[in-house]
Amino acid sequence: YFNGSYNDVYDSISLYGHVVVQDGQLSLNNGSISTLQLAAGTTATAISAPTPGAASFVLNGLRLGSLSGDGNLVFQNDARVYVGSSDQPGAFNGVLSGSGLCQFVKTGNSAFTLGGLSPSYSASTLVDNGVLLINGSLSASPVLVERRSGAVSATLGGTGT
């Protein structure tokens, strides 16, 4: 659990275990987190050029082993977030928002489910490896399935739009 303030602009950081942001600001640029849980009402902002004090949780170029919860993940300023490196199945039922050159990238061999309704998310979604199940709505997002070098497979599925 995190309370307080931490800002990482220049160095890389790795946090292992389950990270829950309760209060304060956690700002990360690159690095990795094993599991990030966004509780309902919590917002994480993926931004490549953060404004100090502008968001409760700022991340860019971050590799998440898993992402869960019902919070909000906001993409700004060409940010990228990589989810699934733990190779464990996961699900995020929160809302994605953002546009432009931002990108949500599904990595790892496991299945990951996006179950939230994110009709205004128009940034791209990339299935790099494993399975991405869209059971919510990403109706404005171009979804690309592109197996990268070393990937076993890349598959898109689900019951959503």
**pLDDT digit string, tens, across residues 91-147:** 999 889 888 888 999 999 999 999 999 999 999 999 999 999 999 999 999 999 998
Percent above pLDDT 70 for the chain? 63
- What would the two tokens of residue 119 be? 């009709």
Q: SS3 helix, strand, coil % of the chain, rounded to 5?
A: 0, 50, 50
User: Which position has the higher pLDDT, 53 or 76?
Assistant: 76
Q: What span, in angstroms and rounded, lies between the C-alpha atoms of 71 and 68?
A: 8
Q: What span, in angstroms and rounded, lies between the C-alpha atoms of 40 and 149?
A: 36
Which positions ≥6 away from 96 have C-beta within 8 Å?
72, 73, 74, 75, 104, 114, 116, 118, 121, 123, 138, 141
Q: Which DSSP symbol is given to 159? A: S
| Mean pLDDT on 71-94 | 85
pLDDT at 86 over 70: yes
Q: What span, in angstroms and rounded, lies between the C-alpha atoms of 29 and 60?
A: 5
Q: What is the pLDDT of residue 123?
A: 93
Q: What is the pLDDT of residue 29?
A: 60
Q: Confirm if 25 and 58 have CB atoms less than 8 A apart.
A: yes
